Structure formats: C-alpha cells, structure tokens
Structure 1
C-alpha cells in the first residue's frame, strides 16, 4: 500500500463548474478619423509583407539570448517609449515589431535589404 496521497490533476482543479452567461455585446464608439487611420495602418498588413502580431495569444515561443548591453538598450527603448511617447508595451512586442520590420524589408528589398547587409558581412 502506497503512503502517497492521491491528488486531483490540474484539469480537475481548473475545470469549469458552471456556465457563465455571455455578456451582451455593446457597440463600440466610432473612432475619430485620426484613430481610424492609425488603426487601419496597424491592422492591415500590406500584401505579402509580414506584420507584427501585437497583443494576441501566441502559440509558439523561442528563446533569444542578449548581451548585457543589448538588454539594457532594449529596456532603455521601452522606458523611452513610455516616457516620451506614452506607449506601454513589453519587450516581446518590441522584438516582434522589429522582426516584422526586418522581414518586410527583406521581402521588399531582397539582396539590398538591411538584414542581408548586416548578416552577410
């Protein structure tokens, strides 16, 4: 006989116990023309060009190693975005935007892109 206690698993602990009624959808206020332009610019990627995904649930993860100086520069950029521009984002979003920009440049410029120039030397 085992002296080990039998405990429920995570699926039993975190299962829904009752159905939650869906809230009624409320119509969103109509954005101003300035906000419309900015939103359409961010959400509509140009044909064939990669775009940063923004604040969504991501299914895949990679690990990236930074030097101390690179990490401090990323933190400084994040603080500058918050302080000077009022933009609050996490480091991952900054990196995703930078990657999307580099991939878009590669798709557009090909051999003349910044990425090829930087990695080819």
Structure 2
C-alpha cells in the first residue's frame, strides 16, 4: 500500500469550465445586467425591478479585502452559527456579508439621503 496521494493533472486543473449559468456574456458574471463593468457609467441600466440580492455561494470574479475588529468578526461568526442553529441556514460568512451589502445598497437606492447607510456614515463622520 502506497502513501502517495493522487493529484489531478494539469489538464484537469486548467480546463475550460464554460460560462456560469448566471453569466450574461460580458464576463463579470453578475447575470442581472444592472452593472456592466465594460460599459461607461452613463450607459448603466436603471435599477432592476426585482429586489437587490446578495450572490449565492459561487466562484466570484472579483475580490476585496475588508478589515474588521475582533468583536465584529466574533459577531459575524456568532450570526453564522445562529442562522444555522435557529433557522437551518448553513451559509458562510461571505454570503452573510454579500446579503448585508445588498440590503444596504437597496436601502440607499430607495431612500437616498434618508437611508440607513447615509445616516450611519454621517454619524461616524461627526465623531
């Protein structure tokens, strides 16, 4: 019996996987066409009729790094565990953050100056 593991070959690692079902063909994979990165800002489409949603667990083409405090990370992890234990939702922290961002952006679009995001940011700036 050998202790050597079997690893995939280069052809398997670098194969073409095709477009994701939500990919609208412009390469950014957002699927709803609300924001097309290849288009100038003046030609962006109006807000979609359906409510803004965070994207599900999938391979995302873009990445950002967000630094949080120990308390914020602990609260996020506690929320993830509560969603699983209380509501039966097994989601990762990234999904929770994407949903929270979607909620805040929808609120900003709907309420503008009276949105929770604007109020909270103004409160932080005044301190």
TM-score, normalization: structure 1? 0.62
The aligned counterpart of 1:82 is 84
1:93 is aligned, of 88, 92, 95, to 95
Please give the alpha-carbon distance, in whole angstroms, between the structure 2 residues aligned to 1:64 and 1:116.
19
Which of 55, 58, 61 pairs up with 1:59?
Answer: 61
Of structures 1 and 2, the one scoring higher in RCO (CA 8 A, sep 6+) is 1
- Please provide the CA RMSD for this pair: 1.8
TM-score, normalising length: structure 2: 0.59
Bigger helix share: 1
Gap runs ≥5 in structure 2: 1-8, 13-46
- Matched residue pairs, number? 81
**Rg larger in structure:** 1
Gaps of 5+ in 1: 1-12, 17-44
Following superposition, which runs of at least 4 residues in structure 1 exceed 2 angstroms of deviation? Answer: none
- Residue 73 of structure 2 aligns to a residue in which SS? helix
Residues 94-120 of structure 1: CA distance to partner in whole angstroms, max 9, x if unpaired? 000000000000000010000000001
